[in-house]
Amino acid sequence: MDVMALGWLGTRTPHARALANFYANVLGLRATHTEPGFWVFTLPDGNNVEVFDPAYPGKAHFDTGPVAGFTVRDLPAAVAGLRAAGVELVGGPGPTWQHFRGPDGNVYELVAALAAPGGSPPA
């Protein structure tokens, strides 16, 4: 598995609105998407920090605290590596991510490398 960087962070919290306000107004992160119970902030490198209210659908498996995403060069190969190692995959796969439970019981994520100009992952 070729982990390249920390590439995503998501938090499901009953204090979602306060955290989103903190990210925007204290840390100065740029909001790029909002909808009821969900906020996306895009960092200068193109990676996202996301905040989920507990009522937001589809993220109930974010039950251990913030979820860190590890950027990998080849997502299908990395997911196959997790399976081969007997790692528990959590939730359904997304088009560019897969959540899993680490040996510490926490939820983590693999996320595909952002495409470079021209459509291919960065070298």
Pick the more confident residue, 65 or 120. Answer: 65
Q: What is the structure's pLDDT at 60?
A: 80
For residue range 26-43, list pLDDT tens digits in order. 888 999 999 999 999 999
Pick the more confident residue, 94 or 64. Answer: 94
Q: What is the structure's pLDDT at 49?
A: 93
> Do strands 107-112 and 67-72 pair parallel, antiparallel, or not at all (unpaired)?
parallel
> 64 burial class (0-12, 13-18, 19+ CB within 10 angstroms)?
middle
Q: What is the structure's pLDDT at 120?
A: 46
Domain boundaries along the sequence of the chain? 3-112
Q: Which stretch of DSSP H or E encloses residue 88?
A: strand 88-90
Structure tokens at 22: 């903190």
User: Would you say the pTM of this structure is higher than 0.85?
Assistant: no
CA distance 21 to 15: 10
Taking 50 as the threshold, does the pLDDT of residue 18 lie above it? Answer: yes
Q: How many CB atoms lie within 10 A of CB 112?
A: 20
Q: What is the structure's pLDDT at 123?
A: 44
Q: Which CATH architecture has domain 3-112?
A: Roll (3.10)
Taking 50 as the threshold, does the pLDDT of residue 121 lie above it? Answer: no
